[in-house]
Structure 1
Amino acid sequence: MAAPRTKQQTLAWLRTLTGELSTATLKRLEDTLPWYRDMPPGRRSAVGLVAQAGITSFISWFEDPKSIPWIAADVFGAAPRELLRSVSLQQTLQLIRVTVEIVEQRVKNDDESLREAILLYSREIAFAAADVYARAAEARGLWDARLEALVVDSILTGEYDSELPSRIAALGWNGHGEVSVLVGTAPKMLDVDMLRRTARHLDADVLIGVQGSRLVIVIGRVEQEVDETTPPVEQRPFLEIAGQLEPGFGSGHLVLGHTVASLLEAARSAKAALAGFAVARAWRNAPRPALADDLLPERAFAGDPLARSTLINRIYRPLHDHSTELLTTLWCYLDNGRSLEATARELFVHPNTVRYRLKRISEVIGYDATGAREALILQAALIVGAIAGSPKSRS
């Protein structure tokens, strides 16, 4: 019976097997792992380097077991960084298993201590693989957070560059079509994952950014896949989505900007939401969330040029162009404290005529002058329209 080999003899024997084990490992990968076969040649070569490094690393570790933390890290240092994005952790563990099986089969008739060393080393390599992928995921998360903050900042400032579309794509933005921006107070403990889960549940995607004490969320709808057997689902209004996201904000006002056609136009919605958020305290019973367009009077009084132009272009000018009679009726109605009788007396008409004209005003511009809040918006539109020197407003 042959005498047991010494450790130095075993090491020398293992070094002679390095090439043989590497070749056998690559062949086994080819035969048993479809994802490896389907890889481009460059990535297959990188995977092969990892397998070979694992075998060489085992021999080095067997010589000095105290080197576990360093040797294990060197195995994955042989692969290019982009390999982590193309090979999953599950696939990496399959690679480790195949490599260990090849080594075990070759030394199965050797002494027990060598087989135990292989088992211990394979465990350390598996933990090292998990650590590498965890660190990569953490780094990716930090990078994504910085990139997302940069995109949101670009939207808020309206300073776009040619790289913005690629940055948005890198974040995996799934929004399609219209977009709206929601602005509120940042909570003490921001739960980004909760906000994203809520958005996904509502068939929406979000970009989240914190600007000082403000929390800004850019909301986009996710395009739903429908077929002949599935009826199309009606899109949720942005106000409904904002209402579901509301618990993720801190206390204070919450303002939703108007809807724009695409993410690249989101700066307009953001400007409206920020302007509304700045003056929302002036609306004593402001809902949460409130529409930025419902804060047009306060925004205009605070000097927001977008609010003034919106009041003129959406209310004052369409009403004047449609009928100066309706515009005059609205002036009188608001000046007389929304009294039908007082308005009728001033205009020398019947109160029912005033009612009819108010109904026509609502049909033309979409605002009901008989409501207190909408009356304020209309009053502000008349004031800024007259100040702007728009067409003559009174007969």
Structure 2
Amino acid sequence: MTGPRQHPSEVTSRAVERSAGDLATRASQRMEEHLRWYRELSAEERSQVGLVAQAGISQFIAWFHQEESHPPSAISIFANAPQELTRSVSLRQTLDLVRTVVDVVESRVENLAGPGDEQLLRESVLRFSREIAFAAAEVYAGAAEARGAWDARLEALVVDAVLRGEADDSMQSRASALGWGDVADVTFVVGSTPAVAGGAVPAVDDLRRSVRQHGVEALAIVQRSRLIAILGGTREATRVVEAVADCFGPGPVVVGPTVPHLFAAGRSARAALSGLAAAAAWPDAPRVLESDVVLPERALAGDPPARRILVERIYRPLAAASHAPLLQTATAYLDSGGSLEASARALFVHPNTVRYRLGRISDVTGYDLTSPREAWTVRIALALGRLAETPTLSSAARTTGPAGVLEETSKVSLATS
């Protein structure tokens, strides 16, 4: 516990008061000589730092001269400093500034202190410098907290815009403020929110911190029961997500396709969200899966982009005139339950021909019919492709809906009876 404060003599008080300008000048000179970061500041920033140093010296003189034994309140030193100064001058550099001013004052103690006041002046300088250090920490903590809260709001707005597919000027401005204006290779990731103490904020912070350990940028929010992340700067998003999967809650974590930039992330978001909704249809699905892996489940759940991808990726290449035997072989192989011999008999070819065509199907579509899951995916794609090429049925379903289809069927029945 600090004892009662001793008061300096009138001689010392007047000497310290008269030295304000000289101390500020000496402090600026010493900063110029010994602090490289100070020399690299712009003229405006150096002026602002100088004002802070002058304010500190003035506050010390006012406190040193007062008779009351109140502790020094150094927070007012930073009151007039612009908030932007905390971005150009770090807390460590501010402490360098405090140390420099203290050194200057201590070097002048013998000249400023009256007889017997030398030790008192040194202790007063050290006590006041401690208060300045605490005040600086408080200023920087407040600035970081305000900046973090503002960034969190911007982050939520950007992710929400991606979810709604609104890549407008306001989103671009907010993304640029977050440093995402030029981030390439962007991937949308979604999973459940983990049950952690403190709610959403620790979950988001943990995910963001874990992702950055892999050199990847991340925007993250909690939306109801979902933990959503947008990863940027990597084409290996699945590998990164597998490494940080523990940051998500139980259940699947779905990784959307990687797109060139943030303003195309809506496509990745729609695919990932559709994949998360459809993943329940695959009980043996891996913990982390790409949205394309559950294309058949997404198609069955009524996702138009998934249906279109399956048709374009599988059916249309096989239905091309140059690949007609491949479509016939795929159909026969699937209908035979994956039997080479049965397929060969149905096609009137040798089993080796069927085996060769299966390899060609894999080359053309990227799907191996000898794999049960990939064979099921191809079967769904072929069914969707044939439905898409049935104009009468598909147009009736689009224009009249299920009830209209039943009505059309009834009309056909009556006409034929």
**Which TM-score bucket, shorter chain as reference?**
0.7 to 0.9
Please tell me the residue identity of whatever aligns with 2:134.
Answer: F
Question: In the alignment, what sits opposite 2:237?
Answer: 238
| Cross-structure match for 2:27 | 25
Identity of aligned residues (%): 51
Q: How far off is 1:174 after superposition? A: 10
**Aligned equivalent of 2:220, options 204, 208, 212:** 208
C-alpha deviations, 1:140-198, integer Å up to 9, x for none? 22233332232222222221122444543443459964332221111112455554454
CA distance in structure 2 between the aligned counterparts of 1:23 and 1:13, rounded to whole angstroms: 16
- Equivalence map 1:30-45=2 (5 Å): 30-45=32-47
Partner Cα distance (2:74, 2:137) in 1: 11
Q: Does the 8 Å contact 2:190/2:228 carry over to 1?
A: yes
**Residue type of the alignment partner of 1:85:** R
Alpha-carbon spacing, 1:293–1:390, altered in 2? closer, same or farther (3 Å):
farther
Q: Is the contact between residue 175 and residue 204 of structure 1 (CA under 8 Å) also seen in structure 2?
A: no
Kindly report which structure 2 residues correspond to 1:77-226, keeping only aligned pairs within 5 A, or say none.
77-108=79-110, 109-110=113-114, 111=117, 112-173=119-180, 177-189=184-196, 190-192=202-204, 194-221=206-233
Aligned length: 374
Q: CA deviation at 1:305?
A: 1.1
- Amino acid of the structure 2 residue aligned with 1:376: W
Partner Cα separation in structure 1 for residue 240 and residue 35 of structure 2? 44
Post-superposition offset of 1:299: 0.7
CA gap 1:39/1:203 in 2 versus in 1, 3 angstroms: closer
Give the equivalent residue in structure 1 for 2:360: 360
Amino acid at match of 2:356: Y
Give the TM-score, by structure 1 length.
0.85
Q: Pairwise mapping of residues 305-384 of structure 1 onto structure 2 (< 5 A)?
A: 305-321=304-320, 322-384=322-384
Change (3 A) 1:212 1:372: same
Measured in 2, the distance between the counterparts of 1:97 and 1:126 equals: 9
Amino acid at match of 1:90: R
- Check 1:121–1:191 CA distance in 2 against 1; reply closer, same or farther (3 A cut): same
Q: 1:221 and 1:113 mapped to 2: Cα distance? A: 57
The 1-side partners of 2:263 and 2:36 are apart by 41
Distance in 1 of aligned mates of 2:390 and 2:366: 20
Residues 390 and 97 (structure 1), Cα distance of their counterparts in 2 relative to 1, 3 Å cut: farther
The root-mean-square deviation of aligned C-alpha atoms, in Å, is 2.7
Return the alpha-carbon distance in structure 1 between the equivalents of residues 124 and 109 of structure 2.
Answer: 11
Residues 1:66 and 2:65 aligned together: no
AA partner of residue 206 (structure 1): A
Query: What SS is found at the alignment partner of 1:66?
Result: coil
Contact residue 175 and residue 220 of structure 1 kept, 8 A: no
Q: Distance in 1 between matches of 2:348 and 2:274?
A: 41
Question: Any conservation in 1 of the 2:83–2:143 contact (CA below 8 Å)?
Answer: no
Greater mean deviation of Cα atoms: 342-351 or 118-127: 342-351
Asked if structure 1 preserves the Cα contact closer than 8 Å seen for 2:8 and 2:120, the reply is no
* CA distance in structure 2 between the aligned counterparts of 1:202 and 1:113, rounded to whole angstroms: 53
| 1:111-156 superposed Cα distances (whole Å, 9 cap, x missing partner) | 1333322221111111111221222222222233332232222222
